[in-house]
């Protein structure tokens, strides 16, 4: 009997208790933790079996509330629901908007609009309301805001136009379609430009021969370089045959890495001596 008592004593003091994650319990008349009184530890039971499981489920919850392009100066946050947290992660606020929100530069947290800058878009839950508002900030944490949720990012390009959008929904990332920076009027052949947009550029250009009657070849080069635009990466060539009654056209594209230089050159080809014209140059952020 003494040996049995000694074994039980060793087991009582020598075994370290094991703990596991508390789980959600559905409706039941059974006592959750074996208490003999139904309301003996109601606060503990709610914390363990209701709050903690819901915390794990909802801490990153977001449905809709996507950042989308609206105009060169605005973005839209679509209708949706989200959970905002304070900096310590101790308070979760659940909010829902039933309609889209137009975000303008009046929603910036501090300062004013800056070109060639990335901005974060936040859902804000500080107000005593069921809906969320929007703030824009260069910072990873919006100034003067307590409870927030980052929704996405957009890039304000060198022309101070919204040009690139990424959504941070915890699952997928959405990139907006590329936007035309030039409309064909901002660039000229023979001039070197630098890509300062913070993203790659897709250059599209169109050439036209300006000679008819007799054989003639027009050649235009798309050139890029990290230090200077000196390497040809694309050619646009058009040939006019003898007796041609109208001009001929050509087009081509190339990609410019961020920070690199680029230009379009215009020259006569191997046949004939009359050059053509670069009728249009477009630059697209991608």
pLDDT at 77: 94
Strand order in the sheet with 277-285: 249-256, 201-208, 277-285
Which run of H or of E encompasses 184?
none
Domains of the chain: which residue ranges? Answer: 62-167, 193-285
Q: pLDDT of the chain along its 286 residues, tens only? A: 555 555 455 545 554 444 445 665 555 555 555 555 555 566 666 666 566 767 677 777 888 899 988 888 999 999 999 999 888 878 889 999 999 999 999 999 999 999 989 999 999 999 999 999 999 999 999 999 999 999 999 888 878 888 778 887 654 444 444 454 544 457 888 899 988 777 788 899 888 776 656 666 677 888 999 888 888 888 887 776 665 556 777 888 999 988 899 998 877 655 555 566 777 888 887 7
The burial class, CB within 10 Å (0-12 / 13-18 / 19+), for 278 is buried
Contact 205, 282 (CB under 8 A): yes
Whole-structure pTM value? 0.54
Summarised one tens digit per residue, pLDDT across range 125-145 is 999 999 999 999 999 999 999
pLDDT confidence of residue 128: 93
Spatial neighbors of 214 by CB under 8 A, at least 6 apart, are 240, 242, 243, 272
Q: What pLDDT sits at residue 50?
A: 65
d(CA 102, CA 167): 16
In sequence order, the 6+-apart residues with CB closer than 8 A to the CB of 127 are 133
Report pLDDT for 24.
Answer: 55
């Amino acid at each position: 009997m003494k040996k049995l008592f000694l074994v039980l004593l060793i087991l009582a003091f020598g075994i370290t208790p094991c703990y596991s994650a508390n789980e959600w319990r559905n409706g039941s008349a059974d006592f959750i933790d074996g208490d003999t009184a139904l309301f003996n530890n109601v606060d503990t039971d709610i914390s363990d079996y209701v709050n903690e499981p819901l915390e794990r489920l909802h801490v990153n919850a977001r449905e809709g509330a996507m950042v989308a392009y609206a105009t060169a100066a605005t973005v839209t946050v679509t209708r949706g629901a989200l959970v905002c947290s304070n900096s310590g992660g101790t308070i979760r606020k659940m909010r829902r908007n039933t309609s889209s929100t137009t975000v303008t530069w009046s929603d910036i947290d501090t300062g004013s609009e800056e070109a060639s800058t990335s901005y974060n878009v936040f859902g804000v839950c500080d107000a005593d309301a069921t809906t969320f508002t929007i703030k824009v900030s260069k910072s990873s944490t919006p100034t003067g805001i307590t409870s927030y949720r980052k929704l996405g990012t957009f890039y304000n390009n060198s022309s101070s136009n919204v040009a690139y959008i990424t959504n941070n929904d915890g699952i997928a990332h959405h990139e907006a379609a590329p936007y035309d920076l030039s409309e064909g009027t901002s660039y000229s052949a023979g001039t070197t430009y630098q890509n300062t947009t913070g993203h790659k550029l897709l250059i599209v250009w169109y050439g036209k021969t300006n000679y008819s009657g007799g054989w003639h070849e027009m050649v235009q080069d798309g050139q890029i370089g990290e230090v200077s635009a000196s390497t040809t990466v694309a050619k646009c060539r058009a040939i006019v045959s003898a007796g041609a009654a109208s001009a001929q056209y050509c087009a081509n594209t190339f990609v410019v890495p961020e920070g690199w230089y680029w230009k379009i050159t215009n020259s006569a080809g191997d046949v004939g001596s009359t050059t053509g014209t670069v009728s249009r140059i477009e630059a697209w952020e991608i």
